[in-house]
Amino acid sequence: QAQKGPVEAPNVDLRSMAMEGKVKEIIELMEKGAIADGECFYVLFDKCGNPKLLQNAKKVHDFFLRSTFRGELRLINRVLEMFAKCGSMVDARRVFDHMPDRDIDSWHLMIRGYASNSLGDEGLQLFEKMKELGLQPNSETFQAVLYACAGAEAVEEGFIYLEKMRTEHGIEPQMEHYLAVLDVLGASGHLIEAREYVEKLPMQPNVAAWESLRDYARYHGDLDLEDHLNELIADLDPSKAVADKLPTPPPKKRMAVNLMEGRNRLPEFKNPSLYKDDEKYKAALKEQGYVPDTRYVLHDIDQEAKEQALLYHSERLAIAYGLISTPPRTPLRIIKNLRICGDCHNAIKIMSRIVGRELIVRDNKRFHHFKEGKCSCGDYW
């Protein structure tokens, strides 16, 4: 607080620059000796919370460590949050472990950070450690813990912690805790269980609960459940009715409800006779047909094939890179300095069908427009 005047002035600039998100510029200024104040760091930590900005985040943190504010708990907690958002829990943990004192928020931030980085188990371990240290978890702690359970897809633990919350810590679960358990189930793909869970809640489930369930139904692709929940939601809150919704096509068979156990005679009447066009199709596409064997062993590339793979011709490499760098179904243009070889020509022809794209290859002789398994050169090449 001794420093006033000259140092304060650039700080104002830094702060407003920070607000505008000019992280890089600020780092440059700080490298030249500018000094940021606490408020500025606070904003900077917030702006650096992005996996793409991890390097900047580290730099900002370095400056922070050299600053006079390095002991401020409020700011250190922001650092934890920043590294968690950057996806680097290793950095967050290092900061956390070196904290002279932590408040309950620090623990929450760490547990949540682990959870959102798919490291829920570490989050749970940290919670155990917190209890070992004799810290008293509060209602919010359990929300974080349940969030970690969702991140770890740890269904059992979710219920255990919900139980312990009441029995060991005397905290009565609130709606947000129940919703958090719902998240655990939903994130783990236990949709039916989640639905039963909501129906059995000790309190009337609110719209938020149904909506959360509906979202999980959507994520997991359960059309019928989604439709049903949408009806419920619309009934509770007509403003949330989905307008201009497409009518859902009816299922062919309602196996779950029709009580026609074992009376499906389809195999008797339909298959597995071979149709000749099926055969042709299968010859062209050696895929499993109706009810194949369980264990198709996946294609493991053997040594010889691996050596072959080393010989992938350049056009295939370019195509592969093009594929993973562009949206589906957009055409790719490859330019090759030599003439395309017959094997690649044949392969790329089929590839164009498999990947559903137009592949245009210009070799030193001519253009080949590969599309839907055909080439513009008509194989006269």
Residues 202-231, interacting with other proteins (CB under 8 A): 216, 218-224, 228, 231
Closest CB 217 distance from other proteins, rounded Å: 10
Structure tokens at 175: 């709606």
Q: Which of residues 79-108 bind other proteins (CB under 8 A)?
A: 87
371 three-class SS: strand
Contact between 243 and other proteins (CB under 8 A)? Answer: no
Contact between 9 and other proteins (CB under 8 A)? Answer: no
368 three-class SS: strand
Per CB under 8 A, the segment of 21-29, 40-48, 70-78, 358-366 that binds other proteins is 358-366
201 Cβ partners below 8 Å, 6+ apart? 178, 209
Contact between 263 and other proteins (CB under 8 A)? Answer: yes
Contact between 334 and other proteins (CB under 8 A)? Answer: yes
Of the pair 9, 301, the CB lying nearest other proteins is at 301
Exposed e or buried b for every residue in 277-306, given b needs 16+ CB within 10 A?
eeeeeeeeeeeeeeeeeeeeeeeeeeeeee
The site string for other proteins over 22-41 (x = CB under 8 A, - otherwise) reads: --------------------
69 three-class SS: coil
Among 100, 133, 262, 303, binds other proteins (CB under 8 A): 262
Contact between 124 and other proteins (CB under 8 A)? Answer: yes
Q: Which of residues 167-186 bind other proteins (CB under 8 A)?
A: 186
Q: How many residues bind other proteins (CB under 8 A)?
A: 147
Among 160, 203, 208, 242, binds other proteins (CB under 8 A): 160
Residues 95 and 61: their CA atoms lie apart, in Å, by: 10
Per CB under 8 A, the segment of 14-22, 96-104, 173-181, 255-263 that binds other proteins is 255-263
Residues 127 and 168: their CA atoms lie apart, in Å, by: 14
Of the pair 101, 277, the CB lying nearest other proteins is at 277
* Of the candidates 68, 104, 54, the residue with the CA atom closest to the CA atom of residue 79: 54
Contact between 112 and other proteins (CB under 8 A)? Answer: no
Closest CB 10 distance from other proteins, rounded Å: 31
Contact between 270 and other proteins (CB under 8 A)? Answer: yes
Of the pair 4, 200, the CB lying nearest other proteins is at 200
Burial environment of residue 201 by CB neighbours within 10 A (0 to 12, 13 to 18, 19 or more): middle
358 three-class SS: coil
* Of the candidates 105, 130, 110, the residue with the CA atom closest to the CA atom of residue 120: 110
Among 101, 257, 302, 303, binds other proteins (CB under 8 A): 257
Residues 183 and 176: their CA atoms lie apart, in Å, by: 10
Closest CB 310 distance from other proteins, rounded Å: 5
CB-CB contact of 239 with 261 (8 Å): no
CB-CB contact of 350 with 319 (8 Å): no
Contact between 250 and other proteins (CB under 8 A)? Answer: yes
β-bridge pairing 359-362 and 374-375: unpaired
